[in-house]
Structure 1
Amino acid sequence: MSNTIIHKADTRGHANHGWLDSHHTFSFARYYNPERMGFGLLRVINDDIVAGGMGFGAHPHDNMEIISIPLSGSLEHQDSTGNREVIRTNDVQIMSAGFGLTHSEYNHSKSEEVNFLQIWVFPKLKDIPPRYEQKTFKPDDRQNKLQVVVSPEKDGEAVWINQDAWFSLGTLKSGFSEEYKIHKLGNGVYAFVIDGEVEIDGNKLSKRDGLGISEAESFRVEASTDAELLLMEVPMK
């Protein structure tokens, strides 16, 4: 029997700093909820909107896998290992902080907002050399299917993560139905509805709702309307 936990969009933590409007699925910064400390090794899902020309100045990280997925607009990345890149819609960025680095993330536009998901996953191996990767994914490859964009396979089509984790994005038409099969026994999946309405294992979810499902070998994903969905499969311990 699977275990499920649902986090409705309006129960997320919220911080509006003017230049940054952020919703936190799990405890982060000044938002603390002892019952919302993550899902397995998934620690952070932040839904960030950053004003034009603004952003996060240089700050340090270590031993964390940090994934950024722009939903609209573009993000400018710079880090202490010499990377300087612009991340756009349809791109996925991952940074293995490893034994430590500093980085900054700014809105690439001076006038338009950027909305992106910032996701943190605890690493499999600690103190590895810091690493950066980004890839552009064709939207057509996730039309009515689940497109793997993050995986532990170093030579695959997805960006590589230092963890037994798989992320999939889907642009689903109303009526879509598919069984998702867990890649690794013991993993759980956290589903985050970017837009629209979906039903997972009989649970109805709307825009920005989240659902964690564990102790399952598979589950069914159905689109009640046209929808955008992110599935994050991670080890539970």
Structure 2
Amino acid sequence: MLDIIRANERGRAHFGWLQSQHTFSFGDYYNPQQMGFSVLRVLNDDQVAPGAGFSTHGHRNMEIISYVLAGTMAHKDSAGHEQLLPAGEFQLMSAGKGIYHSEYNASKTADLKFLQIWIEPNSKDTEPSYQQKAFSQAPGLNWVITPDGRDGTLQIKQNAAVAQLILAQQAALAMPLAANKAYYLHLIAGELSLNNHHLSAGDGVKLTGLQALKLQSHDTAVNALWFELPA
């Protein structure tokens, strides 16, 4: 199966200080056809106005990933972490048995843009934890989150992995796929052909039951996230 979710099909929310696009049902956006994919439950593009943000709120039993695309996020949580997250860095907060946190735009003049991603854990009511790191920008697949934290990646409480996919312009990449896994690709920037299907920024693709993918970038470089998920 190759199922494309186009950028213009995503849910949208506008609150003045926040503009958000939702791949899956979230908040006031409900689409019974898009309730998540495998253990991937939320994938939001968030744009936060200068000085604004999400005030303190709680989460439980969810792996919450933030990837900052532009600007700097100010994070503070009830476990005592108080961090700045600049563009290019990934954050993984395991909510476990319960945690409260806030996320604000650290700038008073520039917008904050980030991806907010939720993945359901495979163990519940664990101790909350926090991880943050920048990773290689080398062409190809750069793994940033894995179940075992291998090679310095952030460790997630799920049999899932996340990579940053980077392609220069006019570059090709062949990827073998496993039959016992599901995959999701979210295109952040650039234009990409995937098994001859054209993708634009903001598009996403659900992938199951395929043996291989052929990726081809076009006249601009590609930045995407690649999810390896339980089938």
- Percent identity, please: 39
Report the alpha carbon displacement of residue 115 of structure 1 after superposing the two structures with TM: 0.2
Instruction: Give the alignment partner of residue 126 of structure 1, picking from 124, 127, 137.
Output: 124
Within-5 A mapping of 1:83-232: 83-139=81-137, 141=138, 144-182=139-177, 186-225=180-219, 226-232=221-227
CA distance in 2 between partners of 1:181 and 1:167 (Å): 16
Question: Is the 2:179–2:208 contact (alpha carbons within 8 Å) kept by the matching residues of 1?
Answer: no
Question: Is the 1:154–1:160 contact (alpha carbons within 8 Å) kept by the matching residues of 2?
Answer: yes
Report the alpha carbon displacement of residue 155 of structure 1 after superposing the two structures with TM: 4.4
CA distance in 2 between partners of 1:56 and 1:17 (Å): 12
Amino acid corresponding to residue 80 of structure 2 in structure 1:
G
Structure 2: 5+ residue runs without aligned partners? none
Amino acid corresponding to residue 111 of structure 1 in structure 2:
T
Structure 1: 5+ residue runs without aligned partners? none
Report the alpha carbon displacement of residue 179 of structure 1 after superposing the two structures with TM: 2.2
Amino acid corresponding to residue 129 of structure 2 in structure 1:
R
Q: Deviations over 1:68-93 (max 9, x none)?
A: 00000010111111001011112100
Question: Is the 1:90–1:138 contact (alpha carbons within 8 Å) kept by the matching residues of 2?
Answer: no
Question: Is the 2:176–2:211 contact (alpha carbons within 8 Å) kept by the matching residues of 1?
Answer: yes
* Counterpart secondary structure, 2:152: coil
Q: How many residues align?
A: 230
CA distance in 2 between partners of 1:100 and 1:49 (Å): 26
Matched, 1:21 2:19: yes
CA distance in 1 between partners of 2:78 and 2:175 (Å): 38
CA distance in 2 between partners of 1:205 and 1:153 (Å): 31
CA distance in 1 between partners of 2:217 and 2:46 (Å): 25
Amino acid corresponding to residue 132 of structure 1 in structure 2:
Y
* Counterpart secondary structure, 2:8: helix
Aligned to 1:234: 229
Aligned to 1:65: 63
Query: Cα RMSD over matched residues?
Result: 1.4
Q: Deviations over 1:189-227 (max 9, x none)?
A: 111111111112222101111111012343222212321
Question: Is the 1:197–1:206 contact (alpha carbons within 8 Å) kept by the matching residues of 2?
Answer: yes
Aligned to 2:52: 54
TM-score (norm 1): 0.93
Instruction: Give the alignment partner of residue 11 of structure 1, picking from 9, 12, 15.
Output: 9
Amino acid corresponding to residue 176 of structure 1 in structure 2:
A
Amino acid corresponding to residue 201 of structure 2 in structure 1:
K
Amino acid corresponding to residue 191 of structure 2 in structure 1:
E
CA distance in 1 between partners of 2:102 and 2:211 (Å): 39
